[in-house]
Amino acid sequence: MDTNKSPEPTQASNFIRNIVAEDIKNNKNSGKVITRFPPEPNGYLHIGHAKSICLNFGLAAEFNGICNLRFDDTNPSKEEQEYVDSIMADVRWLGFDWQERLYFASDYFERLYDFAVQLINSGKAYVCDLSGDEIRQYRGTLTEPGKESPYRNRTVEENLDLFERMRKGEFPDGARVLRAKIDMSSGNINMRDPVMYRIKHEDHQRTGSKWCIYPMYDYAHPLSDSIEGITHSVCTMEYEDHRPLYDWFLEQLDICRTQQIEFARLNITYTVLSKRKLLKLVSENFVSGWDDPRMPTIAGMRRRGYPPAAIRNFCDRIGVGKRDSMVDMALLEFCVREDLNKTALRVMSVLKPLKVVITNYPEGQYDELDAVNNPEDSSAGTRKVPFSRELYIEQDDFMEEPPKQFFRLAPGREVRLRYAYFIKCESVVKDSAGNIVEIHCTYDPATRGGDAPDGRKVKATLHWVSAAHALDAEVRLYDTLFAKEAPDDIEEGMEFTENLNPKSLEKNIAKVEPSLKSAQPGAQYQFERLGYFCVDSFDSKTGHPVFNRIVTLKDEWAKIQKTAKK
């Protein structure tokens, strides 16, 4: 796998779009475009699924077609209603609409059964009594052909009888399977009499106890596509070798031919995108749930505060190709920042407070200053921020003995407080252990609003809050979930969870400006100089918001692009 850190092309390439455009030109499928997004309800959706959703719904939208939502619910042991509900909520939140076309593979069980009977009747399927292990042994390898099952030449009558009795529940799990009769010496292992149905005495979340035989993905998927008249069945590269089998079922049954097209799945640095691994993180409490804001799930990103438009934009930018690649997390964050820059209101908050006393400002008095809500959007207006004798600034914005490159506040130095005044540090107050507890400054009333009438300049502008007016709020700062760029690269005997980043979550009690008292769950803000933050939808209480940092303001992606150009 190569790491794709090159600057993004202006128009991301998408080879599937070209195929569809060509098909329309040739009036293939009478010019119709019908796609589908086919999740298995065995986990929450992640950013990789978002790529598939944007692609499938995007193709339909672009070519005046439709896109179905179809649950691939053929394995009751791993599937749950909770996942069905979350998947629908996530697709909707991403901005896509399947209208009335919500389908379930389980709705087709009866028809899939009839198709199987048809294949038995034409001598193309048989009931096999080999065990799972035996079937594997008989299958052969990449270099050796397989061996035919001793049950391969059962008569049609016997097969029909056994298959019907499988359905009726006469046999225990694993006793028999239905297999397609294709070619045990095929160079493609998928064509060596693949299993179509297995016995599973297990209730299904939709069909209850009606069935005890369940179709395999490779059988259910092409038929479901065909039943819905899907024109382009878009899936990830691992199904490329299954395509001959996909085509085989549709040819044998002589039903609507859907074209399967494979594309490279999305991988992102510093995270994993496998439902099995994400499930492990949740079930073993490495994270707080599927919607933990560090998770690469859609639910996690929503809770973190990523705007859906930013995710769609990201999916557009990465393009669609056939080569496996690793996309830098910095590109996703760039898209998030780009979107929030236009929409998020600016406010001031101090994450690690240091008290500042303005010695020449009268005690008990306060002042209200005008602050701009969003410099990118004049319609967002202004708000009042209170200024008083005691303020907080960021600990990092003061140094008693500043090195050369440090331009912020230091003894004897003057800086600007955003929207307020110039202040000058006069002295430092320490406790008995020598720790700085507060600093004493004077302010220049003539600089109200932030500029000096005599034209004198300062080298830094700091954010701040008024101590008496500020609100305490929990702020959660996130780092990448994994410490390693490719967490899946592990040595033998090691678990991917060993690559988790122990510093992925830091909690602070911050001082935030009073206007945030009424901040609504889900609302996004820019805390000036600190990043974009979102009011947590689950842990915030009325009047007591909890904030998640969505992204910092640092544009790592620009840095990566610059080094790539050098």
Binding residues (CB under 6 A) for ligand ATP: these are: 38-40, 42, 48-49, 51-52, 235-236, 265-266, 273, 275
> 265 catalytic, yes or no?
yes
By C-beta, is 51 or 389 nearer to ligand ATP? 51
Read off the amino acid at residue 319: G
Q: How far is the CB of 273 from ligand ATP (least distance, A)?
A: 5
DSSP 411-449: TT-EEEETTS-EEEEEEEEE-TTS-EEEEEEEEEGGGTT
Give CA–CA dist 340/307, Å, rounded. 8
> 206 catalytic, yes or no?
no
Determine the longest span between alpha carbons in the chain, in angstroms. 102
What's CA 174's distance to the chain center, in Å?
37
Given 176, 198, 206, 275, which residue is catalytic? Answer: 275
By C-beta, is 186 or 236 nearer to ligand ATP? 236
Helix axes 308-318, 329-343, angle to 10 degrees: 140
Tell me the β-bridge partners of 262: 235
Q: How far is the CB of 20 from ligand ATP (least distance, A)?
A: 16
Residue with tokens 């009073």: 514
Given 17, 32, 40, 80, which residue is catalytic? Answer: 40
By C-beta, is 218 or 513 nearer to ligand ATP? 218
Sign of torsion over alpha carbons 80, 83, 87, 88: positive
Q: How far is the CB of 349 from ligand ATP (least distance, A)?
A: 35
Q: How far is the CB of 329 from ligand ATP (least distance, A)?
A: 14
Give CA–CA dist 297/305, Å, rounded. 12
> 275 catalytic, yes or no?
yes
Give CA–CA dist 462/415, Å, rounded. 7
Give CA–CA dist 50/65, Å, rounded. 19
By C-beta, is 39 or 58 nearer to ligand ATP? 39
Calculate the dihedral angle through the C-alpha atoms of 225, 249, 251, 17, rounding to the nearest 10 degrees: 40
Given 265, 277, 317, 448, which residue is catalytic? Answer: 265
Q: How far is the CB of 1 from ligand ATP (least distance, A)?
A: 13
Residue with tokens 């496996």: 324
* Beta-carbon contacts of residue 189 (< 8 Å; ≥ 6 apart): 139, 140, 141, 142, 146, 241
Helix axes 156-168, 109-121, angle to 10 degrees: 160
CA within 13 Å, CB half, 315: 21
DSSP 64-98: T-EEEEEE----TTT--HHHHHHHHHHHHHTT---
Q: How far is the CB of 499 from ligand ATP (least distance, A)?
A: 18
By C-beta, is 38 or 353 nearer to ligand ATP? 38
The CB-nearest residue to ligand ATP is: 48
Q: How far is the CB of 50 from ligand ATP (least distance, A)?
A: 8
Q: How far is the CB of 233 from ligand ATP (least distance, A)?
A: 9
By C-beta, is 298 or 354 nearer to ligand ATP? 298
As annotated, the active-site residues are 40, 265, 275
